[in-house]
Structure 1
Amino acid sequence: MRGVYNYRWNDVPCNNPCNYICERHKDITVNGSSVQFVYSSKSHTVLDIVYRMCLSAAPYKVEASARMLDESLPHRFNVIPIDIRSYSFIARLERIDLNSGWSTSEINISWIAYFSTPVGIY
């Protein structure tokens, strides 16, 4: 863009050194959840969370949260994705209300997968 062209686009040869502006499309998101029976003798464990849908590519980012299905239990968790794949993601599930483990419990993992380009869902 140049002032002499009223700040409109002005194409120049590719070998001219210039600053540049990149257009980025809005992220495409896919979300889901998975109920798992989980226990740990420590304050954390590692889970393989399957998307339960076929994606044509791996997301570039996954955000996740966890909650006990039995809401009378005081357990609170952080979910930290550590390896993102096209069919699942590996996440560290950390108990944050106490520094201890928990007995076998049903935990709902909710997730949002982010894609920068359209993704096929099969």
Structure 2
Amino acid sequence: MSNTGSYSFSSYSTKASRRVNVRFMMCLSSVPNHVIATARATDPSLPHKFNLTVLEVKIGDFVAELERNDQHTGWDTMIVVDWKLYITENAVLFRNKIIWIPDLAQRNNLTYDEASEYCAENGGTLVDIEDKEMYDVVYHYIRNNFKSGTISYAWIWLGSSYNPQTMEVTQRNGEPGYNGTWWSGFPANNVDYNRLIIVVYSNNVHHGLRNFPGTIRFVKMSSLCSKYIS
């Protein structure tokens, strides 16, 4: 879920920066996962330009550092903060993405296309793992959140493709993807093994990437989705 809004207030500072509290002016059921905000003088004829850095997010407002950047001095004027918030339950934030499993208890027989469609229905796309740092974030998110029930593992489709001939991983945007932490015996060199999954076991011993045909159906599959935030 995302919402946008604005908050106007009178602000005074003798220095080039100060902390401010910005209210959402709406009722929220939980603390937002992420907030993006910008600040400007209400009067467009003023030369004032501001940087705004979100420091702490709460359920009714957020604390930010407001800094004037057109000149190193204070201000005494009305200011408008335009904000956009994101709330996604059971999600993880990494760089400029929200990453989540839409249904943490979902265990279906999904092909790659069906998993991709499931993410689209939930407002996202299948995750592309960019590098080792992102792999670790994804791995720990799955292990700590996926409700495996009576089974001890999660098999989850990713968005990237694999070329068995060149042994290259490619993200959906055409950029190289993470090509490491493979499950023992993988990647397979079968020509039609062109899609990736991540396997996570609850015992924290077995995990890694595998390449498989996108048309294959596995028992107990799920989708790991992502959405860019801007």
Q: TM-score, normalised by structure 2?
A: 0.38
Name the counterpart of 1:32: 5
* 1:108 paired residue among 76, 80, 88: 80
Aligned counterparts of 1:111 and 1:78: Cα–Cα separation in 2: 13
1:69 Cα deviation (Å)? Answer: 1.1
1:93 Cα deviation (Å)? Answer: 0.6
Count of residues in correspondence between the two structures: 90
Aligned counterparts of 2:84 and 2:56: Cα–Cα separation in 1: 14
Instruction: Report the 3-state secondary structure (helix = DSSP H, G, I; strand = E; otherwise coil) of the residue aligned with 2:84.
Output: strand
Note if 1:59 corresponds to 2:50: no
1:115 Cα deviation (Å)? Answer: 1.4
* 2:44 paired residue among 49, 71, 85: 71
Name the counterpart of 2:227: none
Aligned counterparts of 1:52 and 1:45: Cα–Cα separation in 2: 21
1:48 Cα deviation (Å)? Answer: 0.8
Moved over 4 A (4+): none
Instruction: Report the 3-state secondary structure (helix = DSSP H, G, I; strand = E; otherwise coil) of the residue aligned with 1:59.
Output: coil
Aligned counterparts of 2:25 and 2:75: Cα–Cα separation in 1: 26
Q: Note the residue ranges of structure 1 that are not aligned, 5 or more in a row.
A: 1-27, 118-122
Name the counterpart of 1:80: 53
Aligned counterparts of 1:102 and 1:86: Cα–Cα separation in 2: 28
Using CA pairs below 8 Å that are at least 6 residues apart, which structure has the higher relative contact order? 1
Instruction: Report the 3-state secondary structure (helix = DSSP H, G, I; strand = E; otherwise coil) of the residue aligned with 1:109.
Output: strand
Note if 1:96 corresponds to 2:50: no
* 2:14 paired residue among 24, 41, 48: 41
Name the counterpart of 2:100: none
Tell me the alpha carbon deviations over residues 25-82 of structure 1, each in whole angstroms, 9 at most, x when there is no partner: xxx2111101010011000111111111110001111110111111111000011110
Q: TM-score, normalised by structure 1?
A: 0.70
Instruction: Report the 3-state secondary structure (helix = DSSP H, G, I; strand = E; otherwise coil) of the residue aligned with 1:64.
Output: strand
Aligned counterparts of 1:37 and 1:45: Cα–Cα separation in 2: 13
> Equivalent pairs: percent with the same residue?
36
Instruction: Report the 3-state secondary structure (helix = DSSP H, G, I; strand = E; otherwise coil) of the residue aligned with 1:53.
Output: coil
| Larger proportion of helix | 2
Structural RMSD (CA) = 1.3
